[in-house]
Structure 1
Amino acid sequence: MHLESYELISYLIITFSALLFLILERIFSYNRGQKLFREGFFDDFVLYTIAQSYILGIFIFTYIINSFDYLTGLSRLKLFENVPIWLQLIFFLITHDLYIYWMHRWQHSNKYLWRLHEAHHSSKKVDWLAGSRSHAFEILINQTVEFLPIVLLGSPPEVIAYKGVISAVWGMYIHSNISFKTGKLKYIINGPEMHRWHHTTGKGRNRNFATKLAIWDWLFNTAYLPQEKANEYGLKTFFPKNYFMQFLYVFRPFRKNNNKLLSKIFITDNTQVIN
């Protein structure tokens, strides 16, 4: 099959998975009473999930990854040509997941990287769609790191498609509003049971950095899974409510000032900008 065929199958699997999570959230809700069309739904679904993902996907592969490949010529060596597909997927899943864990921790401790990451924490409700809210620059960095090695090592196109599907579906899963406990598997595999705490406004926000493999949090002492129920999500500081303002908000100055233009753009209803 050509890459286009794999992409079509990928989109179908992701769409089916989204519908499945949506249904499961209605039946097995963790935080009951959350609305399907909650605040920010349109921006998260239409602008982040569809428009931004499509545009950035083209930009990442056409201009960034292809440029790296042209300059290095590594893909022509086809270093992974004879490696079984399943083994390639395991290799890329583990290595990229370890990268994401440490990158994620760095984003929470570095003020510049936090600027790129805070949009992801801004949703007041955590559900299957909340994980799609990520600043464009954060996506550029992480997806380039995710897919560049696959291309440079000469993996076949289906590896890109499979890896993309796993990342998309797992992202929906760990953010889903589903009351589901994984038992002993929580020490190995990440899920909503642990990741929802990462989106709370309390202590858990600086814990549970893992994406697919929770083992990193347990190994590096960042796991957090209290007995009580998680309820309050998002940021305690002001954050714009629409996609375009969220994109621009990353460029605000670190020091408080009397910039009138900034105030006109970002401050509404007497809300104070907190840096």
Structure 2
Amino acid sequence: MEVLSWTSIVVFGSAVLFLILEKLFPYTKGQKIFREGFFYDFILYTIAQSYILGLIIFGLLEFLKTNTGIYKYSLIGDWPIWVQVLFFLITHDLYIYWFHRWQHNNKFLWRIHEAHHSPQSVDWLSGSRSHAFEILINQTIEFAPIILLGAAPVVPAIKGMIDAVWGMYIHSNINVNSGKLQYFINGPEMHRWHHSDDEGKEYQSNYSTKLAIWDWVFGTAYYPDPSVKKPQQYGIARDMPEYPLSELNEKEKSLAQKNKFIHIVLVVVKDIYVYLKQLIFAFRRFESKEEARITPNESSSKGEPASHTGDYNVLAREDKEA
């Protein structure tokens, strides 16, 4: 079986598994599986955008490969496959930590990142919502070293599979308790705080994707005792263009009731309209009231990444008690 075939099966199987686990062991009880915006995220972001951007990114990488020739040296090609994959997982995860942190402290980068924070519900699918420019930047930087350093042809597919599965996991609405593993491995317990829109600055923490150790080492970890504090709401408090799946006007509703096909067409057209509007929305003027979102303290207002420490760090407290 070809690598792309079995990695695709793993990703699809993981999606089904997370969907089932969210139903059986939900963190936020009562949250709908097929929430408003579910099919919008699935069709426009997960399928359509991923496919189109994949063609662009790998077309660009093929151009770089052809015109630089560095891949011919196969600098890491002799390493075992698992070592190559592990090397790129760790190095890219460190890059993502710092880039993600910068996104929350830079006006332009926040603009192309805020779409990812717009979902009002966090689940296995919500992590797929990302601005096209953000994907282009991150995945080009992610896969360029893999191609140019002459990694084995299977490495991009395997790493992409792990990225996809882990992205679904950390955004999932599953009630898990990783305990002290949260010192090293990132999970939904910490990442859901990053997506919270509570009164504090929780979204200025937990920037890690796979390895939570970056947050602990660089002082941005936030993991309060769940018996003391839980996220109250998610998303961002501003007028982001939203998916209008249930927002047909009266005239459209009248047409939709007469013909199922017309109903589907109207929903699809309006969803595409909102998707395009969200892309353009990133280039609007930056308002002064938004400064608080990216300047949580004095250091970040000077362009430096912000540091955040939680008041109720359950892991640190457990260590002291031990």
Quote the offset at 1:254 in angstroms: 2.6
Question: What is the TM-score with the length of structure 1 in the denominator?
Answer: 0.89
- Selected match of 1:37 from 10, 31, 34: 34
Match of residue 277 from structure 2: 245
Match of residue 138 from structure 1: 134
Quote the offset at 1:255 in angstroms: 5.3
Counterpart residue identity of residue 276, structure 2 = F
How far apart, CA to CA, are the structure 2 residues paired with 1:195 and 1:12? 26
Match of residue 18 from structure 2: 21
How far apart, CA to CA, are the structure 2 residues paired with 1:95 and 1:49? 25
Counterpart residue identity of residue 250, structure 1 = A
How far apart, CA to CA, are the structure 2 residues paired with 1:252 and 1:229? 33
Quote the offset at 1:253 in angstroms: 2.3
Match of residue 210 from structure 2: 212
How far apart, CA to CA, are the structure 2 residues paired with 1:252 and 1:124? 21
Q: Tell me: CA distance 1:122–1:6, structure 2 relative to 1, closer, same or farther (3 Å).
A: same
Quote the offset at 1:244 in angstroms: 1.9
Match of residue 219 from structure 2: 221
Q: How does 1:107-256 map to 2 (within 5 A)?
A: 107-202=103-198, 203-227=201-225, 228-241=229-242, 242-254=274-286
State whether residues 31 and 231 of structure 1, in contact with CA within 8 Å, keep that contact through their aligned partners in structure 2: no
State whether residues 108 and 114 of structure 1, in contact with CA within 8 Å, keep that contact through their aligned partners in structure 2: yes
Counterpart residue identity of residue 282, structure 2 = V
- Selected match of 1:61 from 46, 58, 64: 58
The CA RMSD over aligned residues, in Å, is 1.2
Are residues 1:47 and 2:44 paired?
yes
Counterpart residue identity of residue 226, structure 1 = P
How far apart, CA to CA, are the structure 2 residues paired with 1:103 and 1:25? 30
The residue matched to 2:112 in structure 1 has which SS? helix
How far apart, CA to CA, are the structure 2 residues paired with 1:131 and 1:114? 16
Quote the offset at 1:212 in angstroms: 0.2
Quote the offset at 1:122 in angstroms: 0.2
Counterpart residue identity of residue 129, structure 2 = R
How far apart, CA to CA, are the structure 2 residues paired with 1:240 and 1:81? 46
How far apart, CA to CA, are the structure 2 residues paired with 1:230 and 1:29? 14
The residue matched to 1:109 in structure 2 has which SS? coil
Superimposed CA distance per residue, residues 190-221 of structure 1 (whole angstroms, 9 cap, x where no aligned partner): 00010000000132111000000000000000
How far apart, CA to CA, are the structure 2 residues paired with 1:173 and 1:22? 10
State whether residues 175 and 196 of structure 1, in contact with CA within 8 Å, keep that contact through their aligned partners in structure 2: yes
Q: Tell me: CA distance 1:66–1:235, structure 2 relative to 1, closer, same or farther (3 Å).
A: same
How far apart, CA to CA, are the structure 1 residues paired with 2:240 and 2:61? 32
Task: Give the ranges of 4+ consecutive aligned residues of structure 1 lying more than 4 Å apart after TM superposition.
Answer: none
Counterpart residue identity of residue 217, structure 1 = D
Match of residue 74 from structure 2: 78
How far apart, CA to CA, are the structure 1 residues paired with 2:136 and 2:5? 22
How far apart, CA to CA, are the structure 1 residues paired with 2:42 and 2:127? 10
Identify unmatched segments of 5+ residues in structure 1.
257-275
Identify unmatched segments of 5+ residues in structure 2.
243-273, 289-322
Counterpart residue identity of residue 36, structure 1 = I
Q: How does 1:76-115 map to 2 (within 5 A)?
A: 76-115=72-111
Count of residues in correspondence between the two structures: 252
